[in-house]
A = this chain, B = another copy of it.
C-alpha cells in the first residue's frame, strides 16, 4: 500500500515547476487578470450588449500591455515566441472566458489565418493593427450545415478575370457562416473559407480576407450579418452569422501562401493533390487547438481549486461526542470525488507542456519533418479532446461538491460551466478529433494518406495496414516485452508494484497497442468480407475512439513521468510522485474492465488498484490545499463568495 509518511509541499517551488520557462509571461498575464478582475463581476451583472463592449475594452487594454502579440513576428510588432503566446493564453484562462475566447478569435484564429495562410502583403497590411486590436477580425470557417466536415463547405469563390476580383457567395441557406466569434458586432474583416472555383473547376477550400463592415460599422455591400443571439455562456463574445451575396474582393485578398491565382485567372500551387493542400492549410492552424486544450486544463484548475478550498472550509454532520462537524474533505467519498481530478489536472498540465514545446520547435523550424508535424497535429487534437472533457467533468463535479453555493453566479461555477461547455465541440468536435488521432496511428502519419476521410482509412487499412500497424508498432515484439513487466491475470503480484511508474506505463502501452491492432483487424476483416465500408466503420467506431483515448492517456502519463525524472531533486518530488501514481492508477481503474477482459489484470489485483487509489487520496488529503495553491491562480480569480464565509 501507499507509503503513509506525511507529505509536504514547497508551494513556490511547485508553481515554479508548473510555470516552467514561461514564468515571466505567465506572471504578466496574472497581473493583467488581477488588474481587470472586475470583469468577472461584470459578466454577472452587465447586459449582453454592455458586456460585449466591456470585453472588447479589456482586450484592447491587454493588447496595450504586449500580452497578445507574443506569437507574432517581431518585425510586425509581435514577440516572436509561439510557446510564450500559448503560455499567456493558458494563464488568461484563469479569468473570464469571454475575454479568453474573444482574444482567441482575434489573435489566434483571425490572426493565425492571416499569419499562417497569408504572405508578406497580408502581414504588412494587417498584422500590426491586428496585434494592437485596432483592427478586429473574425474567422469565418464553420457553416450551419458544415462544422466538422470543412472540406464540403457551401460558400463558393469564383474569379472574375475582367475585374481581377474574387466573387464570394453563400450558395444555400445551410452555407451561411455560423457561430462566428467577433462577427455579430465588432469585426471589420473576416478570414472567409470558401471553395475556390476556377473556370468551373473546384480547387478545394481556400481562405480570403473579406472586409465585412465599413468605418461606420455598417455591413459592406452584399454582406449580411446576423447575431446568433443568446448562448449558454460566453456572453461577452459576439457570435454571428454571415451571408455573402456576390461579394467582391481584390485578387490580392486570397491568402496565398499555399496556392495562388494569377491575374489571368490561372491557378497554381506547390501542392498538387487538393486534399493534401487543404490539410496542409488546416495543419498550420494547429495552434488554435493547442490553445483551447490548454485553456480547458486551466479552467479545470480553477474549478478544482474552488472545490478543494470550499471542502476545507465547509463542515457538515458531526462526529459523535464532538461539537464540531466534519470538514467535507475529510470524508472518503469527497476525497474520491475531488483528488483524482486534481491529479488529472496536474497530469494534463505536463502533457500540455510537452505539446507546447513541440509546437514551439516546429514553428521555428521550416524543415521540421512532415511526419512529425502530422504527429504533432494529432497530439494537439487528442490533448484538446482530453483537456476540454476534463474541464467539463471537473467543473460539474466541483459544482455539485459545493452544493447550493456552487449554483450562485457569484461563486464562478455558473460562468465556468456555461462558458467552457462549448470547448468540447468547437475547434473540432472532440469525437471527431479522437478519430483523427486514431487515423494518424493507423496510417502511421503517412504522407500519402493524410488526406483520407474515414472511409478511405477503412479501405486503406483493409488493403495494407494490419501489417503496417503491426510492423510499425512491432506489436508482437512489444507485447512480448510487456509481458515481462505485466503480470498476467494468474500471477500473484505484490501490491507495491502498483506504485511503480513502469508498471502503470506498461499497462497503458499494452492497452494502446492491443486496441489499435484490434481496430485494424476489425476493419480488415469487415472489408475483406465484402461489407460496406460505411457499415464497417460505423460498427468499429467505439474501438476507434478507445484506441485514440488509450494512446493519449499513455502520452499524458509519460509526460508526467518524464517531468519527474528530469527533476529528481525537486523539493516536491515525493508529493508529485504520489500525484502521478494517483493519476496513473485512477486512469487504469476507470478502464479496469478492459484489462480484465483481456487477461492482463486479475480480479484480485483489480480490487487492490481501487484500494490503492483510496489510500493515495488519504495520503494526499493533507497537502490538497498546497497542491491547488501550486497552480498560482490569482486570488482575485477565486473571488468565490463562499470561500470567504465562516460556516
Give the distance in Å from the alpha carbon of A597 to the alpha carbon of B330 in the complex: 28
Assembled-state Cα–Cα distance A480/B329 (Å): 40
Check B424–A317 contact: CB distance below 8 A: no
Give Cα A45–Cα B230 distance, bound, in whole angstroms. 8
**Contact status A230-B325, CB under 8 Å:** no
Contact indicator per residue, chain A 612-647, by CB within 8 Å of chain B (1) or not (0)? 001000000000000000000000000000000111
Interface members, chain A 403-452 (any B CB < 8 Å): 403-410, 413-414, 417-418, 421-422, 424-426, 429-431
Query: Hey, which chain B residues are within 8 Å of A403, CB to CB?
Result: 147-148, 425, 429
B396 near A425: Cβ-Cβ < 8 Å:
no
Interface-forming stretch among A157-165, A196-204, A599-607?
A599-607
Q: Is A219 an interface residue (CB 8 A)?
A: no
A606-B597, A645-B173 as given contacts; A614 in contact with B539, CB under 8 Å: yes
A333 contacts the other chain (CB 8 A) = yes
B333 touches A409 (CB 8 A): no
Q: Return 23 A-B CB contacts under 8 Å, by A number.
A: A146-B316, A147-B316, A147-B403, A149-B316, A152-B318, A173-B645, A228-B408, A229-B409, A232-B409, A232-B413, A320-B459, A333-B538, A333-B545, A392-B396, A396-B396, A399-B421, A403-B425, A404-B422, A407-B421, A417-B421, A593-B596, A593-B606, A596-B606
Alpha-carbon separation in the docked complex, A427 to B148 (Å): 41
* Set B174, B233, B542, B592: member contacting A332, Cβ < 8 A: B542
Q: Does chain B have a CB within 8 A of A571?
A: no
- A316-B147, A331-B538, A603-B597 are known contacts. Are A425 and B413 too (CB-CB below 8 A)? no
Extra contacts, 18 of them, besides A142-B404, A332-B538 (Cβ < 8 A), are: A44-B229, A144-B645, A173-B645, A174-B645, A228-B408, A231-B409, A232-B407, A233-B407, A330-B538, A332-B542, A403-B429, A404-B426, A407-B425, A418-B418, A596-B596, A596-B603, A596-B606, A598-B603
Residue of B nearest to A594 (CB): B593
Q: Which of A326-355 contact B (CB under 8 A)?
A: 326, 330-333, 336
Chain B residues in 8 Å Cβ range of A593: 592-593, 596, 606
Most buried by B among A413, A533, A538: A538
Cβ of A260 < 8 Å from any Cβ of B? no
A599 to chain B: which residues have CB within 8 Å?
603
**Which chain A residues numbered 518 to 545 have a C-beta less than 8 Å away from chain B?**
533-534, 538-542, 544-545
Partner of A231, one of B408, B424, B545: B408
Known A229-B408, A593-B592; judge A646-B174 contact (CB<8 A). yes
A8 at the interface (CB under 8 A from B): no
Q: Count the A residues whose beta carbon is within 8 Å of the partner chain — how many?
A: 83
Does A145 sit within 8 A of B, measured CB to CB?
yes
- Please indicate the chain B residues that have their CB under 8 angstroms from the CB of A400 in the complex: 424-425, 429-430
Shortest CB-to-CB span from A446 to chain B, Å, is 19
Q: Which of A228, A229, A332: most chain B CB closer than 10 A?
A: A332
Shortest beta-carbon distance, A316 to chain B, in Å?
Answer: 5
Which of chain B's residues have a CB closer than 8 A to the CB of A228?
Answer: 408
A178 at the interface (CB under 8 A from B): yes
Is A22 positioned at the interface, with any CB of B under 8 Å from its CB? no
Query: Which residues of the other chain, B, contact A413 by a CB distance below 8 angstroms?
Result: 232
Query: Which of B144, B331, B431 lies in contact with A647, CB distance below 8 A?
Result: B144
Interface status of A179 (Cβ within 8 A of chain B): yes
Does A134 belong to the interface (CB within 8 Å)? no
* CB closest residue in chain B, given A44: B230
CA distance A418 to B421 in the complex (A): 11
Question: What are the residues of chain B within 8 A of A264 when measuring CB–CB?
Answer: none
When chains A and B are docked, how far (Å) is the Cα of A428 from the Cα of B307?
19
Q: A317 and B144 in contact (CB under 8 A), knowing A410-B229, A424-B400?
A: no
Which chain B residues border A544 with CB–CB below 8 Å?
333
